């Protein structure tokens, strides 16, 4: 009889632990990142293309005009190589601890830097990137819709009045008030596939239409700014544009979390296959658009290459509609980890019940917030430069390298050690310099800008 009490206590403690685990599993099955793990390797390919080849590709010829031929080509190629390397690191680190998966960027950060420090380092930067991208895509979607309207209508007349950009951003946002209620990344795979196809399509239209237009009369490849200071600041801003174009790392662990994994067949195999395909598509989109666009228009190119291409009308309308469809998918890819963070805090920390009502309210509030900020500050080029350097450079170019050094501790002065430190140095330069140019660009445009015009 004397041994009965501890046995009861043990069974009570065990049932309490089982109950707690069941509750945690139910929450994980509800949260968007961990709720579905049946993705195929090609989901990884088009999710990564959708995340990476955003509206930033259309600003690359303009970035080239501010960088010049030599530095521009070097930075584009270096960025492609470095970001492919850091993406490989993240795919490898996803399951480096046996039996555990780092499904979110901040979870990997916590493993590398400690529970609290990891959160403080990763979460603010990741949120700035993801929320920043969503705001910029609100502007991009609205701008492309306005371009379609203006191109079809021609000059404003009695039949076709000029409509403010504000209203087009609201029209674009209305789509997301519906799509944002899809539960997880796998649920938006169809939208993501369409977006990936669109990105390749409008990139092809951008460079082939530029090629068809031919080299413009009196084309100039020198720097456009009249002063040395202006040239330097524009150069910094262009670095941010390039950094923005390689922003897919912020959602890569979340994408990998949707792929099934076993000890015999870890998720890194299919994920890496998808990444390689995605990066080939990225190269096919970025390099022709950047180089041909700059070659044809020189330093007179607009910050969105499609604006420089005024004819034929049907082609410009088609390309801009492709951009709209693409940024619809991109917005959802970047919004999903933000939804996951918000819902995790509400359910796990503040102990709200995981219900569809909670999801409905939080996601609608988030879409409304990004729409409001996009309407208030639609400085497309400046926003790219500012956000590009401030947060994209760390999370894309050097944070994976810092984590790799902290976790794996490669041999000092060995190949891995040098490679990571070179990437860190390159990323730090981007992080420090590009926000300066982006902020200056915003300030200059803000002088003549009227709110909600």
pLDDT category at 361 given cuts 50, 70, 90 is very high
Mean per-residue pLDDT, 298-309: 78
Please choose, from the candidates 332, 389, 341, the residue with its C-alpha nearest in 3D space to the C-alpha of residue 106: 341
Whole-number average pLDDT of the chain = 83
Q: Above 80 in pLDDT, residue 135?
A: yes
For residue 198, count CB atoms less than 10 angstroms from its CB and return exposed for 0-12, middle for 13-18, buried for 19 or more. buried
The per-residue pLDDT for 30 is: 84
Residue pLDDT, tens place only, 66-99: 888 889 999 999 989 999 999 999 999 998 888 7
26 belongs to a structural domain: no
Please choose, from the candidates 222, 221, 365, the residue with its C-alpha nearest in 3D space to the C-alpha of residue 298: 221
Q: Above 90 in pLDDT, residue 210?
A: no
CA distances from 305 to 144, 204, 229, 281, 386 (A): 12, 12, 25, 19, 20
pLDDT category at 434 given cuts 50, 70, 90 is confident
Q: Above 60 in pLDDT, residue 171?
A: yes
236 belongs to a structural domain: yes
The per-residue pLDDT for 244 is: 74
pLDDT category at 9 given cuts 50, 70, 90 is low
Q: Above 80 in pLDDT, residue 105?
A: yes
Mean per-residue pLDDT, 436-447: 73
Which domain CATH number covers 342?
1.20.1740.10
pLDDT category at 280 given cuts 50, 70, 90 is very high
Instruction: Using CA atoms of 295, 301, 305, 307 in order, give the dihedral in degrees to the nearest 10.
Output: -140
pLDDT category at 387 given cuts 50, 70, 90 is low
Residue pLDDT, tens place only, 176-191: 999 998 888 888 888 8
Q: Which residues lie closer than 8 Å to 43 by C-beta, 6 or more apart?
A: 185, 186, 189, 192, 255, 258, 259, 274
* Domains of the chain: total: 1
Least confident stretch, 18-27, 250-259, 309-318, 425-434 = 18-27
The per-residue pLDDT for 383 is: 64
Q: Above 90 in pLDDT, residue 367?
A: yes
Mean per-residue pLDDT, 168-178: 93
The per-residue pLDDT for 155 is: 63
% of the chain exceeding 90 in pLDDT: 21
Structure-model confidence comparison of residues 239 and 379, the more confident one: 239
Mean per-residue pLDDT, 156-161: 64
% of the chain exceeding 70 in pLDDT: 89
Residue pLDDT, tens place only, 211-251: 888 877 787 888 877 788 878 888 887 887 787 777 778 88
Structure-model confidence comparison of residues 449 and 101, the more confident one: 101
* 290 close to 87: Cβ distance less than 8 angstroms: no
Mean per-residue pLDDT, 304-327: 82
372 belongs to a structural domain: yes
The per-residue pLDDT for 425 is: 92
- Other Cβ atoms less than 10 A from the Cβ of 359: the count is 19
- Other Cβ atoms less than 10 A from the Cβ of 345: the count is 12
Mean per-residue pLDDT, 316-330: 88
The per-residue pLDDT for 1 is: 47
Least confident stretch, 61-65, 273-277, 376-380, 408-412 = 376-380
Mean per-residue pLDDT, 186-208: 88
Mean per-residue pLDDT, 285-291: 90
The per-residue pLDDT for 328 is: 92
pLDDT category at 52 given cuts 50, 70, 90 is confident
Q: Above 50 in pLDDT, residue 161?
A: yes
Mean per-residue pLDDT, 22-30: 78
Structure-model confidence comparison of residues 264 and 84, the more confident one: 84
8 belongs to a structural domain: no
181 belongs to a structural domain: yes
Q: Which residues lie closer than 8 Å to 225 by C-beta, 6 or more apart?
A: 231, 233, 234
298 belongs to a structural domain: yes
166 belongs to a structural domain: yes
Residue 295's domain comprises 32-448
The per-residue pLDDT for 18 is: 63
Q: Is 214 left (phi over 0), alpha (psi -120 to 50) or beta?
A: left
188 belongs to a structural domain: yes
Between CA 291 and CA 80 the distance in angstroms is: 15
Least confident stretch, 39-53, 231-245, 270-284, 320-334 = 231-245
């Amino acid at each position: 009889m004397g041994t009965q009490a501890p046995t009861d206590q043990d069974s009570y403690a065990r049932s309490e632990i089982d109950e707690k685990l069941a509750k945690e599993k139910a929450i994980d099955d509800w949260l968007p990142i961990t709720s579905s793990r049946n993705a195929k390797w090609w989901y990884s390919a088009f999710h990564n293309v959708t995340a990476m080849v955003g509206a930033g590709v259309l600003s690359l010829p303009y970035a080239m005009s501010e960088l010049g031929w030599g530095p521009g080509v070097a930075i584009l190629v270096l960025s492609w190589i470095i970001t492919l390397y850091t993406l490989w690191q993240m795919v490898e680190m996803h399951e480096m601890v046996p039996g555990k998966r780092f499904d979110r960027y901040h979870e990997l950060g916590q493993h590398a830097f400690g529970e609290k420090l990891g959160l403080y380092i990763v979460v603010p930067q990741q949120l700035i990137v993801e929320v920043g991208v969503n705001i910029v895509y609100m502007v991009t979607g609205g701008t492309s819709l306005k371009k379609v309207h203006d191109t079809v209508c021609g000059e404003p007349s009695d039949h076709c009045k000029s409509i403010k950009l504000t209203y087009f951003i609201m029209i674009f946002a209305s789509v997301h008030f519906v799509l944002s209620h899809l539960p997880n990344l796998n649920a938006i795979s169809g939208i993501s596939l369409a977006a990936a196809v669109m990105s390749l399509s409008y990139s092809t239209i951008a460079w082939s239409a530029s090629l068809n237009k031919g080299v413009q009369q009196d084309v100039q490849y020198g720097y456009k700014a009249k002063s040395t200071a202006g040239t330097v600041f524009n150069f910094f801003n262009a670095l941010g544009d390039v950094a923005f174009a390689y922003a897919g790392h912020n959602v890569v662990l979340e994408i990998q979390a949707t792929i099934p994994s076993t000890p015999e067949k870890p998720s890194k195999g299919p994920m890496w296959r998808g990444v390689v395909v995605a990066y080939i598509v990225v190269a096919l989109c970025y390099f022709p658009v950047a180089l041909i666009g700059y070659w044809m228009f020189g330093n007179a190119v607009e910050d969105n290459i499609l604006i420089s291409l005024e004819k034929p009308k049907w082609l410009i309308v088609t390309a801009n509609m492709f951009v709209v469809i693409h940024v619809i998918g991109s917005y959802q890819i970047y919004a999903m980890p933000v939804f996951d963070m918000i819902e995790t805090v509400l359910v796990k920390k503040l102990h709200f019940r995981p219900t569809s009502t909670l999801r409905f309210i939080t996601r609608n509030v988030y879409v409304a917030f990004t729409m409001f900020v996009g309407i208030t500050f639609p400085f497309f080029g400046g926003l790219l430069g500012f956000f590009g350097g401030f947060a994209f450079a760390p999370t894309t170019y050097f944070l994976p390298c810092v984590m790799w050094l902290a976790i794996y501790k490669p041999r000092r002065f060995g190949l891995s050690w040098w490679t990571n430190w070179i990437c860190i140095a390159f990323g730090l330069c981007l992080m420090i310099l590009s926000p300066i140019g982006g902020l200056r660009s915003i300030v200059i445009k803000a002088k003549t800008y009227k709110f909600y015009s």
